Amino acid sequence: MSGTGSGPGGDAETTSDGGFGRDRPQRSDGRLDSERRQGTPYTESQVIMPTVKIVAPFAFTYGLFVTFHGAGSPGGGFQGGAIVAAVVFMIAFAFGIEATRQWLANAAVVALAVGGTLVFAGIGLVPVALGGAFLQYELLPIPDPVKYGMEGVEILGIGTIVAGVLIGLFFVLAKGFSDAGGFGDGGAFDDEVGNEPDVGDGNESDDGESTGDDGNETRDDNGTDDGQSAAGATGPAATDGGER
């Protein structure tokens, strides 16, 4: 895109809104500076998408290995859970956050985080019910109770908590503040995430697509959150859903 980035052009304009940049014309060189560019962190890349397709299965397997083999080698639930969560981040960056959000149901994320906490507490409380102390693995009614009690805590407890919470933090931070009053146009951002490719094209060609994008914002501001995701998923989500 070096051809379009001929000059800084827009950023020399003075701003009328206290320097917040909302009235500024968008930069021609496609840097993060322009306000329209802010809501569009996703662009389909022919390099990133195949790379993630190849790397993700190995990274996911490595995350599981680090989790499950933590008793015999460096690693454990915390590290493995973080690697598993990072795989989801990779997929989201390659194929779009909104598409990944729909692929990975909220129930799965919540089940990981809550289930992990319950399993950890449960493994701790079983010995208490049998008359021992909290997390007194010797009393667990399984063979080799100390080893497999620890494995259970690491794999089903810590690993799932960390993976679930990190994935959830990622999605909730990408979605941002929910109230329209909070940071101005929080609802508008939701829509822009869904319509990424259109806005990306608008940045490079002309202003016609940008006005169309504004029309989408007003439409989706009336809807609920779930309605927005479904409505805004015409771009990357539709194709990705087909691939998986």
CB 10 within 8 A of CB 27: yes
Which member of 179, 215, 222, 244 binds another protein (CB under 8 A)?
179
Q: Smallest gap, in angstroms, from Cβ of residue 186 to another protein?
A: 9
Q: Smallest gap, in angstroms, from Cβ of residue 149 to another protein?
A: 8
CB 167 within 8 A of CB 90: no
d(CA 104, CA 39): 21
| CB burial string 152-180: b at 16+ within 10 A, e below | bbbbbbbbbbbbbbbbbebbeebbeeeee
Binding mask 40-69 for another protein (x = CB under 8 A): -x------------------------x---
Residue 187 binds to another protein (criterion: CB under 8 A) = no
Q: Smallest gap, in angstroms, from Cβ of residue 146 to another protein?
A: 5
DSSP 182: T
Binding mask 14-33 for another protein (x = CB under 8 A): -----xxxx--------xxx
d(CA 190, CA 220): 9
Residue closer to another protein by CB (options 106, 205) is 106
Q: Smallest gap, in angstroms, from Cβ of residue 80 to another protein?
A: 9
Q: What is the length of the chain?
A: 244
Which member of 71, 128, 130, 142 binds another protein (CB under 8 A)?
71
Helix axes 160-175, 106-129, angle to 10 degrees: 150
Residue 109 binds to another protein (criterion: CB under 8 A) = yes
Number of chain residues interacting with another protein (CB under 8 A): 75
Residue 143 binds to another protein (criterion: CB under 8 A) = no
